[in-house]
Chain A
Amino acid sequence: MTVLHEMDEKAEAKMRARDVSVYYGDKKAIDDVSIDIPTKFVTAFIGPSGCGKSTFLRTLNRMNDTIASARVEGDIELDGENIYSSGMDVVQLRARVGMVFQKPNPFPKSIYDNIAYGPKIHGLANSKGDLDEIVEKSLQRAGLWNEVKDRLGESGTALSGGQQQRLCIARAIAVDPEVILMDEPASALDPIATAKIEELIDELAGRYAIVIVTHSMQQAARVSQRTAFFHLGKMVEYGPTDEIFTNPLEERTKDYITGRYG
């Protein structure tokens, strides 16, 4: 059973998971997780390696469809619509629920094309002018515009690690998503690039529902308003970040965040 804290704000749930279990073959990786992901907030998933937090994150935009042995039970809704229903267009889903990975993975194309690719295939731009505008707006929101505006034709892979990650965030933003999933978005970056990503998350939080998986407890504490602690495939505790980190109700949560996890 998950220990749920009382939430202060009546935040509107963008995504709603109910009794979700995930199997890899016979192995149960996620055990009966139910959670509401609020819009305009940052929700952090924390927990030791192998606890299932990344697996659960991936169920939220069906990234685990790509793993043959993975099977999902339970309901996950985006604005009340079950994303695992047969009528769900997965490509469309992944535009609405974008993802940023641990290692920056820009396309081996120009900075401009990295951003323009999504809007093009989703038909979001009617003209070159529209596309230019989307590229500029996305790069600006990702805090990268000033650094790259004079070299949009250069390859995305020529940027520094931190810039590449912000490029990937800009790419996710470009298709106007509602939810952004981030799987350890700063763990491969130096402290300054990490701070820029965190600042960016802060700025984006008011606009999207953001879910971040992180191993850095300090980072979860800094960037999120909600924190869920996962352990052995279960969601142990979910509540306001400040409460989880100052006064967790569950012994296992406390042991983990205070560094007593054996």
Chain B
Amino acid sequence: MISEHTVKAFDEDITRLRGLITEMGGLAETALEGALDALIRGDEVLAERIVADDRKLDTLEIEVDRLAVKIIALRAPMADDLREVIAALKIAGVVERIGDYAKNIAKRVGQIEGRTRFEPLTLLPAMADLAAEMVHDVLTAYAARDPALAREVIASDKKVDAFYNSIFRNLVSHMVENPATISSAAQLLFVARNIERIGDHATNVAEMVYFAATGSYPLDDDS
């Protein structure tokens, strides 16, 4: 348990900053799950809502930036406080990007025809679940300042990459065999690529969580 600052308003600022990050993470996680759900079911109404909701993430990111700048200017944070603020700044940018990828997946929902014929569509939800779990876990690690859990998230990225490679091969052979569906298959390839990128970004967040909690980077501690 971290003790309180002598200046209470400092604690309030840090708590607010952490709250904003957690809120952003929750929105990104929901957007990703919703985008995949919309994709699988072909639910364009849901897809549109996800695209529209992305604005909330953009707004929150700006709020994080403003608050972090204010804390640095007014409180001159040191040591773990400083790392916390720097990490929050970077995490906000990355989580906003995760939201963008979810939005991009949602935008493709209307452009996939004959979805039942695509075998990759059965693999994508599992891949997306894994990526969503990474996003969820990394936010839990952030909230708990838990470097061990952050490391687990970093390790999970390999599994997402393996999914991507498998789906990529699957889609390419599908395209070779069914040239008429290349357009839709290409859309799915982008979806898979987006999910793969989300895994990478969750890994970046995990590295920042690790840094904020320990003061070193996971790579340094491995060597």
Q: Give Cα distance in the complex from A262 to B81, angstroms.
A: 17
Q: How far is the CA of A246 from the CA of B84 in the complex (A)?
A: 11
B89 to chain A, nearest CB (A): 15
Cβ-neighbour of B6 out of A245, A247, A248, A259 (below 8 A): A259
Residues of chain A within 8 A of B75, CB atoms compared: 259
B79 and A259: CB pair below 8 A? no
Inter-subunit contact B79/A257 (CB<8 Å): yes
| Residue B80 lies at the interface, judged by CB distance under 8 Å to chain A | yes
Given A260-B3, A260-B5, do A246 and B10 touch, yes or no (CB 8 Å)? no
- Note all chain A residues with C-beta closer than 8 A to B78: 217, 221, 245-246, 257-259
CB 8 Å contact bits of A180-209 with B (1 = contact, 0 = none): 000000000000000000000000000000
Of B6, B77, B79, the residue contacting A262 (CB under 8 A) is B6
Residues 1-19 of B, flagged 1 when their CB comes within 8 A of A and 0 if not, give 0111111001000000000
Contact B76 A255 (CB under 8 A): no
Q: In whole angstroms, how far apart are the Cα atoms of A248 and B82 in the complex?
A: 12
A246-B215, A247-B215 are known contacts. Are A258 and B79 too (CB-CB below 8 A)? yes
Complex CA distance for A218 and B79, rounded to whole angstroms: 12
Asked if residues A258 and B80 are in contact (CB atoms below 8 Å), the reply is yes
Q: Is the CB of B3 within 8 A of A259?
A: no
A217-B78, A245-B78 known; A255 vs B215 contact (CB < 8 Å): no
Interface size class of B (residues with CB under 8 A): 10 to 19
Chain B residues near A259 (CB-CB < 8 A): 5-7, 10, 75, 78, 81
In the complex, whether A254 has a CB less than 8 A from a CB of chain B is yes
Residues of B within 8 A of A246 (CB): 78-79, 82-83, 215
In angstroms, Cα B2 to Cα A221, docked, is 23
Q: Is the interface of A mostly helix, strand, loop or mixed?
A: helix
Residues facing B in A196-242 (CB within 8 A) are 217-218, 221
> How long is the Cα–Cα vector from A146 to B4 in the complex, in angstroms?
48
Residues of B within 8 A of A255 (CB): 3
Residues of A within 8 Å of B82, CB to CB, are 245-246
The winner among A247, A259, A261 for most chain B CB atoms within 10 A is A259
Contacts of B77 in A (CB 8 A): 258
User: In whole angstroms, what is the CA distance A259 to B71 when docked?
Assistant: 13
Chain A interface residues (CB < 8 Å from chain B)? 217-218, 221, 245-248, 253-255, 257-262
30 cross-chain CB contacts under 8 A: A217-B76, A218-B76, A245-B78, A245-B79, A245-B82, A246-B78, A246-B79, A246-B82, A246-B83, A247-B79, A247-B83, A247-B215, A247-B216, A248-B79, A253-B79, A254-B80, A255-B3, A257-B78, A258-B78, A258-B79, A258-B80, A258-B81, A259-B5, A259-B75, A259-B78, A259-B81, A260-B3, A260-B4, A260-B5, A260-B6
